[in-house]
């Protein structure tokens, strides 16, 4: 293929997997050249990209994580080599389980080949698992949350391309995982239990760092998307009341600022109104509160 038509390249310096010692060359996405044509921003703060006539559809999220092609250990690049002994042992012991999962859901993948939608989605699936065994010093909860929401997005894309597959169910699973992780993350950010500030770009996508305000907003969005399916209406109301508190903190005076651009405030207001409508509906469903003796 013409070099000018490629969307990615391989690093000249090899990476060495700290889990299995496999040597490989990490793939990187070229920047510029019309490869990425930014489209709209979704309510989940995901940046969509239009199809390029020259390069086709490109998924920048697919290139973010470093994945060992041999043992399927996956992480964000700056964490890849930073493994402690016990982490290494645990992740190594679960190599067969990771490979079986990839075989089950994808029929097998080759991470030596150029990244595409499938390997991109799989990279985040693997990262959610691997970060479950990482130490608190690298803020694993945030990275699980970020990997889970991105996995949900990419599996949703896969489901659209393969409507008869199980990808839609996997997307639902990762939306639930993202919801649980973001709720947990907010508590961690209040207590300082993990050094979340080391994350740098808090996402949730790669095009813009929405910071703490983005975390508050996305947690509220996921509460509506996932928490609304809670069977117990009273539990639903409890979750949504907490969600309103997130949005109230975010909305504040309603004035825009660098951390609270008008685009985010507009989305916040719409979401707040939607939540109030749903809570009113569920209050009627739950009925009047029971009197206690």
């979704």: which residue's tokens? 42
pLDDT for the residue numbered 45:
95
Is residue 146 in some structural domain? no
Is residue 252 in some structural domain? yes
pLDDT for the residue numbered 271:
84
Is residue 230 in some structural domain? yes
Give the DSSP letter of residue 75.
E
pLDDT for the residue numbered 275:
82
CA atoms of 136 and 195, how far apart (whole Å): 8
Structure tokens at 284: 């009627």
267-279: per-residue pLDDT in tens? 888 888 888 887 7
Q: How many domains does the chain have?
A: 1
Is residue 210 in some structural domain? no
CA atoms of 152 and 145, how far apart (whole Å): 11
| Closest listed residue to residue 206, CA positions, set 120, 111, 96 | 120
Structure tokens at 164: 């008869």
Structure tokens at 65: 């994580």
Q: Which residues of the chain have pLDDT under 50?
A: 1-2, 253, 292-293
CA atoms of 173 and 125, how far apart (whole Å): 11
Structure tokens at 228: 């609304």
φ/ψ of residue 259, rounded to 5: -85, -15
- Cβ atoms of residues 73 and 91 within 8 Å: yes
Is residue 78 in some structural domain? no
Domain enclosing residue 260, as ranges: 219-285
- Cβ atoms of residues 287 and 237 within 8 Å: no
Structure tokens at 277: 């409508």
Is residue 267 in some structural domain? yes
Is residue 265 in some structural domain? yes
Is residue 239 in some structural domain? yes
Give the pTM.
Answer: 0.90
Structure tokens at 197: 């500030």
- Cβ atoms of residues 62 and 38 within 8 Å: no
CA atoms of 11 and 101, how far apart (whole Å): 28
């Amino acid at each position: 293929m013409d070099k000018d038509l490629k969307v990615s390249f391989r690093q000249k310096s090899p990476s060495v997997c700290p889990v299995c010692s496999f040597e490989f060359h990490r793939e990187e996405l070229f920047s510029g050249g019309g490869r990425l044509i930014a489209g709209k921003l979704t309510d989940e703060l995901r940046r969509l990209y239009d199809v390029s006539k020259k390069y086709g559809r490109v998924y920048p999220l697919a290139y973010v994580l470093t994945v060992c092609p041999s043992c399927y250990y996956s992480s964000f690049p700056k964490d890849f080599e930073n493994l402690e002994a016990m982490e290494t042992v645990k992740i190594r012991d679960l190599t067969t389980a990771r490979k079986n999962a990839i075989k089950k859901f994808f029929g097998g993948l080759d991470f030596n080949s150029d990244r595409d939608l499938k390997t991109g989605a799989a990279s985040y699936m693997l990262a959610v698992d691997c970060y479950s065994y990482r130490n608190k010093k690298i803020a694993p909860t945030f990275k699980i949350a970020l990997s889970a929401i991105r996995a949900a997005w990419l599996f949703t894309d896969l489901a659209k391309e393969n409507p008869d597959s199980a990808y839609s169910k996997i997307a639902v699973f990762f939306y639930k995982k993202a919801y649980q992780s973001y709720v947990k993350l907010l508590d961690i950010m209040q207590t300082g239990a993990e050094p979340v500030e080391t994350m740098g770009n808090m996402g949730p996508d790669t095009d813009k760092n929405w910071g703490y305000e983005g975390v508050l907003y996305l947690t509220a969005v996921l509460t509506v998307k996932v928490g609304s399916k809670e069977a117990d209406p009273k539990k639903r109301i409890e979750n949504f009341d907490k969600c309103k508190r997130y949005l109230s903190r975010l909305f504040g005076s309603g004035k825009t600022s660098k951390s609270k651009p008008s685009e985010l405030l507009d989305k916040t207001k719409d979401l707040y109104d939607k939540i109030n409508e749903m809570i009113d509906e569920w209050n009627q469903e739950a009925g009047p509160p029971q009197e206690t003796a």
